[in-house]
Amino acid sequence: MINLALFGASGKMGRAVIEEANKDPSIHISNYIVRNNSENLGIDVGEFHFSEALNKFFLAAPENEFDCIIDFATRDDVDKRIEFYSEIKKPLLFCTTGLSDQQIEKLKLLSNDLPIFIAPNTSILTALMRNLLGKIKKVKDNYEIKLTEKHHESKIDAPSGTAIDLAGALNFDVANIESIREGNEGNWHKALIFNGFEELELKHSAPKRSIYAQGALNIVKWFYQKPKNLYYMQTLIEDLYE
């Protein structure tokens, strides 16, 4: 069994990860972490998310043994978290988005001391979409490109980390990404490649957060015993599917 420390445990993705972990006998969440100034600190996790007590409580820092960290927390105190991760040197799946270039570089440096998997999006299909866009980049000089993404209205960063990653695959200017914020759930990313004669539209849509929670748990199973290094979705795809 893999024991996890879940950072961002009171958030919407935190809830999704908890739901999926509860269905998987090979996964156990041993630490439910929130900010040390969170109003949810000390509250029963089950009562908060599911209106049913689990006798498990939100913590400010891990108190129980764990094998790997999943971080779906917001970017608010990310520098403190990065410092903590550098001290404990446990395998880390990092899914927080909206970081500065400097913060991303700090994360990458952690791979000198621990295995770290950076995944702004944990969907295999989204990663495959990125792969294809990377191939299209080689012939894109003859085409125009439009990138659009839609997320729930409470998402803080815009454009999304996934959209920025897709733009990188295409050498597309991030400033030209169209971001839509509406509703409470569901998201999609769309790339349109076109000229005056033809067009190709690639779109990934996920109406529920559960697909990303499942993806995160599958990544952990593949990754948590890997040697210290820097891993991405493309690394996983190359290892499993190519």
Q: Tell me what pLDDT residue 219 has.
A: 96
CATH class of 2-118+210-241: alpha beta
Query: For residue 207, what are the β-bridge partners?
Result: none
Distance of alpha carbon 57 from alpha carbon 48, whole angstroms = 9
Tell me the sheet residues that pair with 187.
Answer: 206
- Partners of 59 in beta bridges: 33
Whole-model pTM? 0.87
Fold match between 2-118+210-241 and 124-206?
Answer: no
Phi, psi of 116 (to 5 degrees): -130, 130
List per-residue pLDDT tens for the chain, 242 residues long.
999 999 999 999 999 999 999 999 999 999 999 998 999 999 999 999 999 998 999 999 999 999 999 999 988 889 999 999 999 999 999 999 888 889 999 999 999 999 999 998 999 999 999 988 988 877 756 788 999 999 888 777 889 888 988 998 888 898 999 998 988 777 899 999 998 888 999 999 988 889 999 999 999 999 999 999 999 998 998 887 76
Question: Which CATH superfamily groups domain 124-206?
Answer: Dihydrodipicolinate Reductase; domain 2 (3.30.360.10)
Residue type, 149: E
Domain boundaries, the chain: 2-118+210-241, 124-206
234: its two tokens: 């493309």
